Chains A and B, each alone.
Chain A
Amino acid sequence: MNKNGKRNFLLTVVALIVLFGLSCFVQGEVDAYIRRIVNLCLIYAIIGLSMNITNGFAGQFSLGQAGFMAIGAYMVGIFTVPVNLRADVFYAVPMNPHLVNIYMPLWLALIMGGILAAIVAGLIGTPVLRLRGDYLAIATLGFSEIIRIIITNANTITNGALGIKNIPSLNDVRYIFLATAVSYILMTLLLSSSYGRAFKAIREDEIAAEAMGINLFHHKNLAFMVSAFFAGIGGGLYGALLGTVDPKNFLFTLTYNFLLIIVLGGMGSVTGSMLGAVIVTAGLEYLRIFDEPLEIMGVAIPLFRPGLRMVVFSVLLMVCVLFWRHGIMGTKEFTWDKLINFLKHPNFGRKKEVQRK
Chain B
Amino acid sequence: MTQNVLRTEHVTQRFGGVIAVNDLNIEVNEHEIIALIGPNGAGKTTAFNDITGVYRPTQGRVIYTGKDGKEIDITGKKPSDIATLGVARTFQNIRLFKDLSVYENVLIATHLHLKSNFLSAMFRLPWYRQEEARMHETVERFLKEVNLWDVRNEKASSLPYGRQRYLEIIRALATDPKLLLLDEPAAGMNPKETAELTEFIRRIRDEHNLTILMIEHHMDLVMEISDRIYVLDFGNTIAKGDPAAIQNNERVITAYLGEDEDA
Contacts and interface: CB of A to CB of B under 8 A. Distances in A.
Contact of B83 (A194, A200, A210, A331): A210
B233 interface: no
A207 B45 CA distance: 14
Interface of B: 52-54, 78-81, 83-84, 88-89, 91, 95-100, 104, 107-114, 118, 121-124, 128, 131-132, 135, 171-172, 175
Given A194-B135, A204-B99, A214-B112, 7 more contacts: A186-B122, A197-B111, A200-B108, A207-B95, A213-B80, A213-B83, A214-B111
A215 B132 contact: no
Contacts of B111: 194-195, 197-198, 201, 212-214
A197 B110 CA distance: 10
Contacts of B113: 213
B135 A215 contact: no
A210 B84 CA distance: 10
A104 interface: no
Which of A212, A214, A216, A226 gathers most chain B CB within 10 Å?
Answer: A212
Interface in A181-210: 186, 189-190, 193-195, 197-198, 200-201, 204-205, 207-210
A222 B121 CA distance: 13
Nearest to A197: B108
Contacts of B97: 200-201, 204-205, 208-209
Nearest to A201: B108
Nearest to A185: B122
Nearest to A208: B95
A282 B88 CA distance: 50
A209 B105 CA distance: 10
Contacts, number: 102
B106 to A, nearest CB: 10
Nearest to A200: B100
Given A189-B124, A213-B175, A197 B104 contact: yes
A57 to B, nearest CB: 12
29 contacts: A190-B122, A193-B122, A193-B124, A193-B128, A193-B132, A194-B121, A194-B132, A197-B104, A198-B111, A200-B97, A200-B100, A200-B104, A204-B97, A208-B95, A208-B96, A209-B108, A210-B53, A210-B83, A211-B83, A211-B89, A211-B172, A212-B109, A212-B171, A213-B80, A213-B84, A214-B80, A214-B111, A215-B81, A216-B80
